[in-house]
Structure 1
Amino acid sequence: MTTTSRVIVLGAGIGGLTLALELHRSGIDCVVLEAAPRLGALGVGINLLPHATRNLARLGLEDDLAAAAVTTRESAFFNRFGQLIAREPAGRFAGYPWPQFSIHRGDLQQVLLRAVRDRLGPDAVRLDHRAVRVIQDRSSATAHVRHEDGSTSEVRGDIVVGADGVHSAVRAQLHGDTAVPRYTGYMMWRGTTVWPRFLTGASMVRAGWLATGKMVIYPIRDDVNAQGDQLVNWVAEVEGPMLDARDWNRPGLIEDFIGPFADWHFDWLDVPAMIRAAEEVLEYPMVDQDPLGHWTDGRVTLLGDAAHPMVPRGSNGAAQAILDAGALAAHLAAIGDPYRALSAYEAERLEATSRVVLTNRVNPPDALLREVFDRTGDRPFEDIADVMTPEEISRFGESYRDVAGFSLTALAQP
């Protein structure tokens, strides 16, 4: 069986669903093909930075996101002794016109999915449609699809967008074995724990450093029980061999990583107790891929993790997929010819995302923790002012915001 649609989006993740909404806003017909036979609340927490929430607010989703998320007030940096290094306000608290949201990935996906089905119709997202290859000619592109029962079908359109994640079939078709994972030398364990509020109740904490263990901790749901506790997302990074291939939903074991954090009993948070009370623990290797030389071949292009897998630091993977979606829809709306539109999209986004991928490797926002670690020799300090000046501290965050495209100056541009 063959069906048709102007734009075929492969993947109902954050990038694919956002693209569907952006296309609908631009009056462009599309269909989303998702490999999974059902969509559940998979994953743990992510952060939506102001450049991402700007685009989602433009799509009319800010209120829905605010109801599902924690509106982040600040980023706070600590050493592994629980000493405060720096605080910086986030989102609207920092003067942005848009908030920063900390949210469960499954909650974000459900907000997007409901909006797609409400606006585009209940059949706009077709589950159990695993795209295995794409063929094209001068007039169309066709996704060949396999279903769970072994049957196959085809969906034909003007273009195909591979938003099918780190294991993208479209990227594999375009680039073969050239796009291979690059392991950083650090494993990541992630979990969620129901826990009392800490600090402001809306703080994103980065603590420690990779040489002795680093953590990122922030709440992603408010008032999850009668005590007013939150669902807290945490990420632990520890040096070690790469345990398994990339799988965002692979279960992990607490005993494999808790050692470096066993004495993190701070007056504002008992970290090992929080870890041991986790509802779930997932493990993932800290990997990315070298930037690709091109995303587009004729009527076929890539978006999000399929185009630019990056080390999950800096809260930017989802944001860059959301920015991809806005740019692609804008070029398709402005340029009638699919070839020229996809080329313009790639020209706008490939270099920008490549800079983020490479910066995440060496100078993410938490590089401030590395600097303090090096200057103190991994020892407690008497006063952070004896270690770094406020101007030096500020430069770390501002440099990353410039590269990632969400400095106040950048977002003030029309």
Structure 2
Amino acid sequence: MSAVPRPSWSSQVVVVGGGIGGLTAAVALRQAGREVVVLERAPSLEPVGAAISLAPNALRALDVLGVGDEVRSRAARVREGGMRTPSGRWLARTDAAGITERFGDPLLLLPRSTLVDVLTARLPAGAVRTGCRAAVADPGDHGRPARVTTPDGELAAGLVVGADGIHSPARGVLFPEHPGVVYSGFTTWRVMVPAPAVEIVSHETWGPGRLWGTHRLTDGRIYAYAAAMTPAGGKAADDEKAELLRLFGHWHEPVPSVLAAIRPQDVLRHDVHHVAPPLPAYHRGRVALVGDAAHAMPPTLGQGGNQAIEDAVVLAHHAEDLPAYTAARLPRTSALVTRSVRTSRLGMTRNRPAAALRNAAVAALSRTGPAFFLRGLDGIADWRPPQSERRTE
């Protein structure tokens, strides 16, 4: 008895969204033997967001794709640093050597555009289509393909990857009864600027209802980010640089010097949202969600992009069994969303006595040594992909 031929659409993959999660999924699925096309609605792949921090868990996932060492060679290692108060007093100091010793890699920082370049270089010409608005029309099922509509017509696929971000339309199609994302209570600003003529030591500074971080990139530029508790949808009365000066201009160096180097047009501002409650699954039919579309979280653990990268390699591993993908990813990422929300509430509290108590606890714990803070990464940075063997070119 002859075998029944597989439908032509069965090996086709359509990735809706060309961010970090979508591109990583495209590379992983192509390496798994699928024919992949990425549809990005923006006119280019120039990413929204200045830089991305990669933890050892994401680097292991990138090793599976054979790009981990290239990323390491193009990223800055977050070395000496720590937490400070707005006056400049150090609450805790960190040491990258301890992270590397415990988890096998340091924390890395690189422009998002660099990571996008590394990933797109692993895809064939024409695999990424920009300026293409795509929408999931039918999630499909065991006997029929998923269908995606585009301005040029409809595409049928054996797998569709919904990587369309925080306000994911694909998520709404799969789970129309889910309430979607909620406002996390604060907004963020991000910039990359030339290094000012002052000493730059990586730091994150916590004040009542506000936060600032400064880090150096390999090309000499400075990546800085800020956050403040504010009503959703707010905009600066003048420009966002003026707003940052108002909120942080009196904080310790290098904050004022970094602010002086900013051009108003270079400031990115975004309200922070997270998925609550968790989705019932990360798939339906032949569609799977990755990254913020599945589990948007506050940036306080620095794991949003890292979890999208994890999603991608796990999805490629379970591409023929999407319930197994959900089972592997939903508990882990839901726990991290909850943890990120709790951490943001602690770090962004406006209550001055509570902030003072928090600072005193951090300072006291730092005197016990770095092991306490490193344990905070247990269960996060020690994750290993199902494809645990390291692949090389």
Calculate the TM-score normalised by the size of structure 2: 0.83
The change in CA–CA distance for 1:371 and 1:144 in structure 2 (over 3 A counts) is same
TM-score computed with the length of structure 1 as normaliser: 0.79
Is contact 1:70–1:103 with CA below 8 Å preserved after alignment?
A: yes
Alignment of 1:312-327 (within 5 A): 312-327=299-314
Output one character per residue of 1:186-207: Cα deviation in whole Å (capped at 9) or x when no partner.
Answer: 22111121114866x6x54211
Partner residue of 2:125? 122
2:204 paired residue among 202, 206, 211:
206
* Map of 1:353 onto structure 2: 333
Distance 2:154 2:250 in 1: 56
Amino acid at match of 2:270: Y
Any conservation in 2 of the 1:162–1:170 contact (CA below 8 Å)? yes
State the identity %: 30
Contact kept, 8 Å, 2:190 with 2:223, in 1: the verdict is yes
Residue equivalent to 1:284: 270
Alpha-carbon distance between aligned partners in 2 of 1:284 and 1:372, rounded to the nearest angstrom: 25
Matching residue within 89, 92, 96 for 2:95: 89
Alignment of 1:159-174 (within 5 A): 159-174=159-174
Specify the alignment match of 1:70 in structure 2: 76
Aligned-residue RMSD, C-alpha: 3.3
Number of residue equivalences = 372
1:6-405 equivalences in 2 (<5 Å): 6-90=12-96, 94-95=100-101, 96-116=103-123, 121-135=124-138, 136-147=140-151, 152-176=152-176, 178-196=178-196, 204-209=202-207, 211-222=208-219, 230-243=220-233, 253-266=240-253, 269=254, 271-279=255-263, 280-290=266-276, 291-332=278-319, 338=320, 341-363=321-343, 367=347, 374=354, 376=356, 387-388=364-365, 390-391=367-368, 394-399=371-376, 401-403=377-379, 405=380
* Aligned partners of 1:189 and 1:237 also within 8 Å: yes
Task: Give the drift of 1:104.
Answer: 1.2
CA gap of 1:375–1:192, structure 2 versus 1, over 3 A, is: closer
Q: 1:212 to 1:169 in 2, by over 3 A?
A: closer
Structure 2 vs 1, CA of residues 395 and 301 (structure 1 numbering), >3 Å: closer, same or farther? same
The aligned amino acid for 2:367 is P
Secondary structure at the residue paired with 2:206?
A: strand
Unaligned runs of 5+ in 2: 1-7, 389-393
How far the C-alpha of 1:180 sits from its partner, in A, is: 3.2
Q: Tell me, what secondary structure is at the counterpart of 2:226? A: strand
2:18 and 2:38 in contact (8 A); partners too: yes
Q: How much has 1:44 moved relative to structure 2?
A: 0.6
CA contact (8 A) 1:131 1:169 kept: no
Answer with 160-169 or 235-244: which moved more: 235-244
**Aligned equivalent of 2:5:** none
Higher relative contact order, chain-length normalized (CA < 8 Å, sep 6+): 2
> CA shift at 1:174, angstroms?
1.4
Paired position in structure 2 for 1:226:
none
CA drift at 1:106: 1.8
Quote the Cα distance in structure 2 between the aligned partners of 1:86 and 1:370.
21
Instruction: State how far apart, in whole Å, the 1-side matches of 2:299 and 2:310 are.
Output: 17
Match of 2:391 in 1: none
How far apart are 1:265 and its partner, in Å? Answer: 3.3
In 2 relative to 1, CA 328–349 (structure 1 residues): closer, same or farther, beyond 3 Å? Answer: same
Question: Where in structure 1 are there 5+ consecutive unaligned residues?
Answer: 223-229, 246-250, 333-337
